[in-house]
Every structure is written in C-alpha cells, then in structure tokens.
C-alpha cells in the first residue's frame, strides 16, 4: 500500500543522504580500504577512493553518509597526522622518483611531490629521512614531503644499522677529531701519586679496546685486603664545555650494538690515549678500598686520589675463568699476576658473601652474541654465560661505586646517583595481597623500607618460584638517576653512584669531575641540572630501543627460512598479552609470539590475562609466565616484525 508512496520515498532518500560527523583514527588494510576507529567497539568503513586522502594512523573528522543502508566515511578534516618525520626509501619507476614511508601498517603509500636541499643523484632503494609538509586533507592539495637527510644506499650492508639509528635520531658513527697535542706526557704530575711500580692488571673481553679499569690488591695484616680500583681519566684531556665535551654530553653513552660499537668519545681517545693498555703509563682516578675479612668495607679508610699506573697485562675473561676453573692451557704470565688473580677471587668471594647477607645480588642471566661476517651477514648466535672472571670485575666495580656514593654524599651532598625506590604505596599493597596466596606475609609499610625489601627478596629466593618473581617485578617501580643520594632497593644498598666507565658514560664522567673537584679542593662546585638528567634518561631509552630493533632485525634474518623449518625449540614464556604468548627461545634469545588461535582452536574457551600473566582454557590455568614450552616456528610477520610460532603438544 505504501510501497510507491512518493512522500515516503522522498523521506527515505533524505535520510540516506543525511551526514553525521564523527571523530576517530584511520586504520588501513592490505586490500586498499580502511576503517575509522571511533572506539574499541565502533568502526566505520572507508572505501578505497576515500583512503587516498588519508594515511593509516591519522586522527580525523569524517562524515558518515548512509548509502544503500551502508555507513561510509568521507574524510573531511585532519586533526593530527600520523606521519610527521619518518624513515623512507626512494622508489623509481619510469625515471620518476617517489618516496615510500617504511613504517608498520602504512601500506602502499607513495609520495610523488617532494623538496630537498640535498644535492644527489637519487638511486632506487636509497634510504632517507623525510618530513610530511603537506597533507591532502589539511592543505587541499596533494601530499608533499621534504627530504631532510640521506641515510644509506640500498646495497650498503650497514644500512639496517644506519636506518634504525636514524629512526631514533642517534649517531651512526663515532666522533672524529684531531688530537695532535694531546698526550699523557703533557699532564702535570704535581698532584698525582706514582703507582707504576704496582702490579695492576686489566680483565676484559679479548676484543675490548676501550679499557677503562685496572685493579691491584694487597694484603694488610692477616685479616684485611686493600683493593685499589684505577679508572681511566678522560677529563684530563676534555675540559668542560669544550667541543669534545659537548659531543660527549649529547651522546651520553657509547652505543654497543650487535656487530657495531659507536663510541661516545673519539676512538683516538677512548681506545688509545685514555685506554689503560698494558705496559704504558696512564693517568687515572683511583680509589683505595679497605675490605675486612667478613667482606665489609671500612668506609672511613676509603681514599680517592689521582695517580699514574702502568698495567702489567691485558687479561681476558675467558682465559682467567679457564685458569680458575682448571680448564684449558692458559696460565698467568708470571707469579705476580697469578697472585693478583687469586687475591681478586678472594675479594669476590667475601664481598659476594657480604652482599648476599646484607644487601642483594642479581641472578645470573645468559647473554647472547651475534656472530657476523665481514660483509655483515649473520652467521650464528651463541650464548655467553657470565663466568667467574666477569663476577670478579663486577664485584670490584660495585664496591668502588658504593664508595663513590658515600664519598660524594659526605663531601658534597650531591652527584649522579642510581636509585630505585622499590614499591610505591599502591603497588606495595597489591604485592602484599598477592604474596599471601603463597603464604608469604609482609605489610606494605615493611616492604617499602630497604631492609624489608631485602628480606622479601630473600624470601622469594627461598621460594624459588619464577612466576611469583615475575608478578612482584610487575609491581616494582623503575630505576632512575637522582642528583641526591637515595637507596637502590634492587641492589639492597643505601646509596650507589657509578664512576667506573667515564670513557663510555657521560654520567660517570660527571662524577669523575665532582670527585676530582673535591680532591683538588675546588670551591663553588655546582650540581648537574635536571635538563641533563632528562637527557640521560632519554638517550638511555633510545639506545635500548635501537639495540632491540637491530636484534629483532638480525633474528628475522637468521630465521628467514623458517617456512621449511620443522625443528622444535625450547622457550620460556616471558609475558602474556590479550592476543597470546610472548616467549624467548633458550638457544638463541630470539623473542617469538604465539597467537591465541595457535594455543587453542576454540576461541570461546581461551582467555588471556595479561595482568596476571596466565592463560585459562575452559576455566583452568594452562600456561603462565616462566613456564618452559616447546614451540615450532611458523613464519615472520613483516608488519609487526614478529616471529610467529605455535605450541608443540
């Protein structure tokens, strides 16, 4: 009756053409169409022709048009572009140049309009840094970019390293400077003690060139040891606010990447002039530490001073460990070096015993080393466990850093301190509630004190449950750097300030200058500012992310043929997300992801709980963080850069 009613037809047409404004984030697909995600439950379809005006991740206002009972988005206003400054590559077709962003989920996007001040004959595959300057939706124009920086040619074997470093705005090469007049011979000896007659030794990796610490031990009476820690002194060659100082201040760290080290200082300084190479006289900042027979440091007898030393030998971790463990054929060069190694081992044992009893120690975790060819191809990945010689050096450096923290606090009241507060009040309550399930009883006030935190960690060590350790770590705060002395809960120490790597860390160089200012009785010593602290945190984060991305890329190259790989691998579950299991392969350290669909094939029966680190199947816990599992690698997801695996039943 009403089917052909002209009034109803007119009303229906009006409703179909009526448009509604909506705000959301653009999500692209591999098939060219996309969606506008308004919230987790609401999305609208964007047809391919409309996707040409936007880029994945753009925050926009769109108009919904109801057409043939379908809701379609027409992008109208750009709120915030997703792409701003980005890494891209040159793509040449029919002698025309275009720029393709290299970014996850930004699929099939090419920019044909560009400007640049770089004079270069662009080649297909060149890597660049570019910036989006015009957006189709904002500027009523085509997309346009500025090419800001050339990174690398396509065929350069180091291009992955350079691209990732450019992504985080990190330096790709060590600094270069001339040091024609710089030499230890030009340094004044007026306030330096000559210790070149003592048997200092260095222990490092066999390939280490930037040697920054040397050690000498002597027995005092029958129940005390005197450990002298001598640290390379680059501040003798680098006055504050000079060009090289500003370079180091910008870089903050030597960046140790798989297969490539990019030093904070020019290598002429870090690997030659400052390096504590054997049989050459070097200026150092030294600390003499008196250690009692029970491993305690007699703080009132600690002394910092400037000195000259001459190392008697560059020893390697592996050789020293082999000799102490009675493996291999290596032997100390002479009786004096043999005596030094044995005394250092004694210090390690008594200091490690003291820290187990009065502070905390970290559990040994394996490290993974990438073996690369001369053409930067990945050959193999090996496990490098920390051995006795590593622990000897670590214990000596920790002792020296404890003394530096005490010295700076007493003499100045400020410095650069590594701190960790343990739990905040909210997470302390959550931790206490969780621990009750395992019959571990503490109050939140108790575990927020240093002594209570140490007792808790020792209780967890006795429990020996990695899942409980994982949950407690989730409740803990992050470490930070402070201008003033505060406890370091994770080490179980009242104060901790590093100064033992000044040719690798600018923060250690700052503490060097502060300690030397005290020794030289300088006046008006000022603390570092908060801007520098923020910069240190930022560079540390970026360096860590660059290392992660390069390792991720190398793992992908290493497992590039996994489609034909039917091997089974042992892995540990390190995290649970809403989508599945994150695990780490034991033999290589590679991180893998197991989607929930490869864990259990009935979606309604599996629940992943990230906050608890467990997976339920049919209301029973089947997997949890710290479990060991057997997996098979399936493929690599190029968008997410994840190695996808499945469980082996």
DSSP string, 239-250: -TTSHHHHHHHH
Same fold? 6-80, 86-156: yes
Note if 120 is an active site residue.
Answer: no
Q: From the candidates 213, 245, 549, 627, which is the catalytic residue? A: 213
What is the value of pTM for the model shown?
A: 0.89
Please tell me the CATH code under which domain 6-80 is placed: 2.40.50.140
Say whether pLDDT at 66 is over 90: no
Q: From the candidates 126, 199, 212, 233, which is the catalytic residue? A: 212
Compute the mean pLDDT over every residue in the chain, rounded to the nearest whole number: 92
- Host H or E run for residue 573: strand 569-577
Classify domain 561-647 at the CATH topology level.
Answer: OB fold (Dihydrolipoamide Acetyltransferase, E2P) (2.40.50)
Please give the pLDDT value at position 10. Answer: 60
Please give the pLDDT value at position 488. Answer: 97
Question: pLDDT confidence of 221, banded at 50, 70, 90?
Answer: confident
Q: From the candidates 167, 251, 504, 539, which is the catalytic residue? A: 504
Question: pLDDT confidence of 562, banded at 50, 70, 90?
Answer: confident
CATH architecture under which domain 86-156 falls:
Beta Barrel (2.40)
Range 169-185 average pLDDT:
82
Distance, CA of 21 to CA of 43 (rounded, Å): 13
Say whether pLDDT at 416 is over 70: yes
Please give the pLDDT value at position 29. Answer: 86
Tens of pLDDT, residues 513-543: 999 999 999 988 999 999 999 999 999 999 9
Tens of pLDDT, residues 582-628: 999 999 999 999 999 999 989 999 999 999 999 999 999 999 999 99
Distance, CA of 599 to CA of 627 (rounded, Å): 14
Note if 406 is an active site residue.
Answer: no
Q: From the candidates 210, 233, 406, 508, which is the catalytic residue? A: 210
Range 336-354 average pLDDT:
97
Tens of pLDDT, residues 481-500: 999 999 999 999 999 999 99
Candidate from 12-21, 472-481, 503-512, 551-560 with smallest mean pLDDT: 12-21
Note if 364 is an active site residue.
Answer: no
Range 367-387 average pLDDT:
92
Say whether pLDDT at 41 is over 90: no
Question: Which residues are CB-contacts of 432 (< 8 A; sequence separation ≥ 6)?
Answer: 442, 443, 444, 447
- What are φ and ψ of residue 500, in 5° steps? -90, 0
Please give the pLDDT value at position 4. Answer: 62
Tens of pLDDT, residues 87-104: 999 998 888 899 999 887
Tens of pLDDT, residues 452-462: 999 999 999 99
Tens of pLDDT, residues 136-146: 998 877 899 99
Q: From the candidates 44, 114, 237, 317, which is the catalytic residue? A: 317
Please give the pLDDT value at position 493. Answer: 97
Note if 529 is an active site residue.
Answer: no
SS3 360: coil
CA dihedral 304→308→311→317, nearest 10 degrees, is 30
| Cα-only R_g, the chain | 30
Say whether pLDDT at 12 is over 60: no
Question: pLDDT confidence of 39, banded at 50, 70, 90?
Answer: confident
Say whether pLDDT at 547 is over 70: yes
Question: pLDDT confidence of 236, banded at 50, 70, 90?
Answer: very high
Please give the pLDDT value at position 13. Answer: 55
Note if 210 is an active site residue.
Answer: yes
Domain boundaries, the chain: 6-80, 86-156, 184-335+348-407+501-519+536-548, 561-647
Question: Which residues are CB-contacts of 552 (< 8 A; sequence separation ≥ 6)?
Answer: 591, 641
Say whether pLDDT at 428 is over 60: yes
Note if 233 is an active site residue.
Answer: no
- Host H or E run for residue 530: helix 530-558
Please give the pLDDT value at position 105. Answer: 75
Tens of pLDDT, residues 276-334: 999 999 999 999 999 999 999 999 999 999 999 999 999 999 999 999 999 989 999 99
Calculate helix-pair angle for 466-475, 450-463, nearest 10 degrees: 160
Q: From the candidates 58, 199, 204, 322, which is the catalytic residue? A: 204
Tens of pLDDT, residues 242-260: 999 999 999 999 999 999 9
Please give the pLDDT value at position 452. Answer: 97
Please give the pLDDT value at position 151. Answer: 96
């Amino acid at each position: 009756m009403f089917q052909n009613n002209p009034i109803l037809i007119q009303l229906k047409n009006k409703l179909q053409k009526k448009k509604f404004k909506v705000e959301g984030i653009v999500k692209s697909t591999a098939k060219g169409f996309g969606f506008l995600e308004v919230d987790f439950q609401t999305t609208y379809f964007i047809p391919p022709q409309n996707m040409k005006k936007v880029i994945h991740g753009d925050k926009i206002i769109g108009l919904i048009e109801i057409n043939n009972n379908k809701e379609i988005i027409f992008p109208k206003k750009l709120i915030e572009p997703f792409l701003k400054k980005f890494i891209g590559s040159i793509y040449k077709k029919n002698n025309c140049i275009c720029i393709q962003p290299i970014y996850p989920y930004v699929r099939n996007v090419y920019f044909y309009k560009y400007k640049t001040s770089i004079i270069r004959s662009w080649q297909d595959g060149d890597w660049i840094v570019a910036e989006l300057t015009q957006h189709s939706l904002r500027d009523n124009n085509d997309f346009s970019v500025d090419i800001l920086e050339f990174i690398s040619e396509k065929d350069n074997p180091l291009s992955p390293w350079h691209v990732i470093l450019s992504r985080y705005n990190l330096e790709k090469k060590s600094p270069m400077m001339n040091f024609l007049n710089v030499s230890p011979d030009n340094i004044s000896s007026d306030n330096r003690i000559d210790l070149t007659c003592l048997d200092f030794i260095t222990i490092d990796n066999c390939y280490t060139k930037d040697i920054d610490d040397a050690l000498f031990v002597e027995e005092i009476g029958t129940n005390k040891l005197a450990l002298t820690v001598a640290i390379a002194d680059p501040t003798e060659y680098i006055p504050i606010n000079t060009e090289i100082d500003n370079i180091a201040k910008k870089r903050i760290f030597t960046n140790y990447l798989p297969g490539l080290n990019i030093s904070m200082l020019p290598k002429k300084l870090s690997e030659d002039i400052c390096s504590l190479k054997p049989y050459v006289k070097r200026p150092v900042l030294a600390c003499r530490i008196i250690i009692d027979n029970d491993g305690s440091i007699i703080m009132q007898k600690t002394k910092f001073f400037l000195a000259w030393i001459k190392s008697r030998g560059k020893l390697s971790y592996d050789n020293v460990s082999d000799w102490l463990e009675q493996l291999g054929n290596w032997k100390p060069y002479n009786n004096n070096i043999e005596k030094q190694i044995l005394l250092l081992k004694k210090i390690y044992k008594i200091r490690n015993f003291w820290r187990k009893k009065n502070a905390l120690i970290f559990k040994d975790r394996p490290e993974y080393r990438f073996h690369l060819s001369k053409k930067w191809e990945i050959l193999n990945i090996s496990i490098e466990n920390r051995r006795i010689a590593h622990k000897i050096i670590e214990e000596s450096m920790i002792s020296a850093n404890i003394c530096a923290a005490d010295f700076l606090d007493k003499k100045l009241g400020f410095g650069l301190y590594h701190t960790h507060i343990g739990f905040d009040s909210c997470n302390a309550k959550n931790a206490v509630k969780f621990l009750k399930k395992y019959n571990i009883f503490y109050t939140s006030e108790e575990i927020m004190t240093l002594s209570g935190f140490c007792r808790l960690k020792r209780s967890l060590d006795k429990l020996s449950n990695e899942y409980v350790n994982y949950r407690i770590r989730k409740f803990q705060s992050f470490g930070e750097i402070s201008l003033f002395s505060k406890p370091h809960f994770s080490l179980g120490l009242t104060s901790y300030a590093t100064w033992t790597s000044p040719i690798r860390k600018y923060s250690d160089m700052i503490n060097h200058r502060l300690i030397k200012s005290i020794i030289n009785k300088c006046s008006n010593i000022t603390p570092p500012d908060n801007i520098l602290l923020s910069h240190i945190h930022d560079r540390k984060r970026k360096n860590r992310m660059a290392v992660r991305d390069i390792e991720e890329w190398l793992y992908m190259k290493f497992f590039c043929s996994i489609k034909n790989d039917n091997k089974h691998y042992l892995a540990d579950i390190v995290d649970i997300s809403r989508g599945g299991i994150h695990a780490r392969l034991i033999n290589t350290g590679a991180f893998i992801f197991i989607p929930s669909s490869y864990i259990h094939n009935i979606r309604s029966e599996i629940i992943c709980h990230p906050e608890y680190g467990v997976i339920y199947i049919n209301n029973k816990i089947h997997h949890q963080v710290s479990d060991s599992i057997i997996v098979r690698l399936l493929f690599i997801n190029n968008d997410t850069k994840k190695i996808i695996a499945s469980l082996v039943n």
